Amino acid sequence: MRLHVADHPLVAHKLTVLRDERTASPTFRLLVDELVTLLAYEATRDVRVEPHEITTPVTTTTGVRLAEPRPLVVPILRAGLGMLEGMTRLLPTAEVGFLGMQRDEQTLEAITYANRLPDDLTGRQVFLLDPMLATGGTLVAAIDYVMERGARDVTAVCLLAAPEGLRVVQDAVGERLDVHVVVASVDERLNENAYIVPGLGDAGDRLYGVV
């Protein structure tokens, strides 16, 4: 597993406002959108491209364009939905799938309750979106889910990660270089309720309100 922590003053600034409990949902959603676009720049550094010939006003030249099959962006419901627009702003030609997963609050294991993905992901680059990498169970389950269907490599984009969750992912995927995790910050720890500390609370509730 490869880990990239975005070290940039704009990322740190936006993350500070996100953490503030006084930040209201509309502002929170806007900042998540902006922050994910910054993270997406790093997450797509290895996106596959192919040569493409074009004609400029001066001459012909060869550039690049996104290769086929197109990347697949997969927000993990529900909180991952708040990251979708920020990601597709940078990858507008990507396809979008959805994966519904939630953590059992008793066992802390991930449960899959919805799947809107192609059955065959052979050769696809997949970008998983989930704001919080806490225990790591949900992300490991999502990685397994897409790789069992043939995904070539997987990049997870998260706002925050806990060291405990990163260890779980590392133990699950080992030294595989086709699994990449991009985060804005690695926080201190998990608390007794498996929330990231200092964290920013429940990302879904802060994005959409308590349901």
Q: What CATH number is associated with residue 186?
A: 3.40.50.2020
> Left (φ > 0), alpha (ψ -120 to 50) or beta: where does 70 sit?
beta
pLDDT band of 105, cuts 50, 70, 90: low
> How many Å apart are CA 4 and CA 142, to the nearest integer?
19
Task: Report the candidate in 49, 76, 67 with the shortest Cα–Cα distance to residue 143.
Answer: 76
State phi, psi for 181 to the nearest 5 degrees. Answer: -120, 125
Examine the pLDDT at 120 and tell me if it is beyond 60: yes
User: Is 178 labeled as catalytic in the residue annotation?
Assistant: no
78 assigned binding-site residue: yes
Q: Residue holding tokens 């493409």? A: 52
Whether residue 211 is predicted with pLDDT greater than 60 in this model: the reply is no
Is the per-residue pLDDT at 182 higher than 90?
A: yes
202 among annotated binding-site residues: yes
Catalytic residue among 60, 62, 107, 119: 107
Question: Can you give the pLDDT at residue 209?
Answer: 77
pLDDT, tens only, 29-40? 999 999 999 999
Q: How far apart are CA 42 and CA 176, in angstroms?
A: 19
Known catalytic residue: 176? Answer: no
Query: Which residues are bridge partners to 114 per DSSP?
Result: 100
How many C-beta atoms surround the C-beta of residue 87 within 10 A? 26
At CA 163, angle to CA 7 and CA 40, rounded to 5?
A: 40
The CA distance from 197 to 190, in Å, is 6
Q: How many CA atoms within 13 Å lie on the side-chain side of 7?
A: 2
Tokens of residue 30, six digits: 């806007």
Query: Annotated binding residue at 137?
Result: yes
- Is residue 97 over pLDDT 70? yes
Residue 203 marked in a binding site? yes
Residue 177 DSSP class? T
Look at 20-29, 102-111, 140-149, 176-185 and tell me which has the smallest mean pLDDT. Answer: 102-111
- Helices 9-19, 25-43: crossing angle, 10 deg rounding: 150
- Please count the structural domains in the chain: 1
pTM to 2 decimal places:
0.90
What residues does 156 pair with on adjacent strands? 128, 181
Q: Is 103 a catalytic residue?
A: yes
What's the average model confidence in pLDDT over 2-30? 94
Options 7, 104, 171, 202, the catalytic residue? 202
The predicted pLDDT at position 101 comes to 76
Residue 210 is predicted with a pLDDT of 67
Identify the pLDDT of residue 107: 65
Q: Report whether 163 belongs to an annotated binding site.
A: no
Out of 70, 103, 152, 176, the active site residue is 103
pLDDT above 90 (res 133): yes
Average pLDDT over residues 162-187: 93
Q: At what angle do helices 163-173 and 137-147 cross, to 10 degrees?
A: 30
User: Does the CA dihedral 10-34-24-105 come out positive or negative?
Assistant: negative
- The answer to whether residue 103 scores a pLDDT higher than 70 is no
d(CA 17, CA 10): 11
How is residue 121 annotated by DSSP?
A: -
Residue 138, helix vs strand vs coil: helix
Residue 104 is among the residues annotated as catalytic for this protein? no
Is 174 labelled a binding residue? no
Residue 182 sits at the vertex; the CA angle it makes with 177 and 187, to the nearest 5 degrees, is 120
Domain extent, residue 136, equals 2-208
